[in-house]
Amino acid sequence: MDNIVIFGAPGSGKGTYSTALVKEFGYNHISTGDVLRAEIKAGTKLGKIVKGYIDQGQLIPDEHMIDILAGVYDSMLDGPGVIFDGFPRTIVQAKALKDMLQERGEKITITINLNVSEDVLMERLLRRAKIEGRADDNEETIKKRFKVYYNQTYPLIEWFKNEGVLSEFTFKGDTNLIIKEIIEKVASL
Ligand code: AMP
């Protein structure tokens, strides 16, 4: 089974590229952001815990995330693979992912790192704010999310590199071109 991590700053297109991979290869898709937003919408206990963090642009504590992830992953074991979109976001989560996969005889197949300039990221997120109305897509919270990304998530690139699973893709103005590059890379695995 393929276990693909899609990695990048807020607005880097993780959701878009995940959708393209799902369409091409029939993978299952875990977007931890979508899982959390669904919990909030359903008014669950977990939803109530996580709402404040999301609205403030902060990360949800690792222990909640790790429990959620294992539960969702285990419902997807019969497919050709899983895309992890928005997880891991900390070194603790990355190690937990590695352990969880190992316990199931699996490993991270590849990490797709999306490099996009900060100007483009901000422009995309502000545009998305108008379309989707996400509470955390306002300029102030976006800036906080960038800071959280660079402090807590960006250091993971080194971790993935050491694991030998990092593959880099740089946005140069054409989303379709990256989709093509990513699909080619995944097809060659
Ligand atoms: P996303 O939709 O991936 O941009 O995630 C939106 C928000 O959900 C983030 O800003 C965090 O508050 C929270 N979140 C999503 N995934 C994680 C994660 N792996 N760890 C902690 N918080 C997360």
Q: What is the DSSP string of the chain?
A: -EEEEEEESTTS-HHHHHHHHHHHH--EEEEHHHHHHHHHHHT-HHHHHHHHHHHTTPPPPHHHHHHHHHHHHHTTTTSSEEEEES---SHHHHHHHHHHHHHTT----EEEEEE--HHHHHHHHHHHHHHH--TT-SHHHHHHHHHHIIIIITTHHHHHHHHT-EEEEE--S-HHHHHHHHHHHHHT-
64 class by beta-carbon count within 10 Å (0-12 exposed, 13-18 middle, 19+ buried): middle
Average model confidence (pLDDT) across the chain: 96
Question: Quick one: pLDDT at residue 133?
Answer: 85
Is pLDDT of 175 > 90? yes
Ligand 1 nearest atom to the CA of residue 56, by list position: 12
Is pLDDT of 134 > 90? no
Is pLDDT of 21 > 90? yes
CA pair distance 168, 112, nearest whole angstrom = 6
CA pair distance 2, 23, nearest whole angstrom = 15
Question: Quick one: pLDDT at residue 127?
Answer: 93
CA pair distance 23, 20, nearest whole angstrom = 5
Arithmetic mean of pLDDT, 148-170: 98
Is pLDDT of 89 > 90? yes
Confidence of residue 93 (pLDDT cuts 50, 70, 90): very high
Confidence of residue 108 (pLDDT cuts 50, 70, 90): very high
Task: Note if 134 is an active site residue.
Answer: yes
Task: Note if 89 is an active site residue.
Answer: yes
Is pLDDT of 35 > 90? yes
How many CB atoms are closer than 10 A to CB 175? Answer: 12
Is pLDDT of 51 > 90? yes
pLDDT exceeding 70 applies to what percent of the chain? 100
Whole-angstrom CA distances from 149 to 47, 110, 118, 159, 165 are: 22, 20, 12, 15, 20
Question: Quick one: pLDDT at residue 50?
Answer: 96
Q: Which domains does the chain have, with CATH numbers?
A: 2-180 (3.40.50.300)
Task: Note if 128 is an active site residue.
Answer: yes
Q: Which residues line ligand 1 (CB under 6 A)?
A: 10, 32-33, 36, 53-54, 57-60, 65, 86-87, 89, 93, 136, 145
Q: Going by CA atoms, what residue is nearest to atom 11 of ligand 1?
A: 59
List the catalytic residue out of 128, 144, 147, 161: 128
Give distance in angstroms: CA of 69 to centre of ligand 1: 12
Is pLDDT of 135 > 90? no
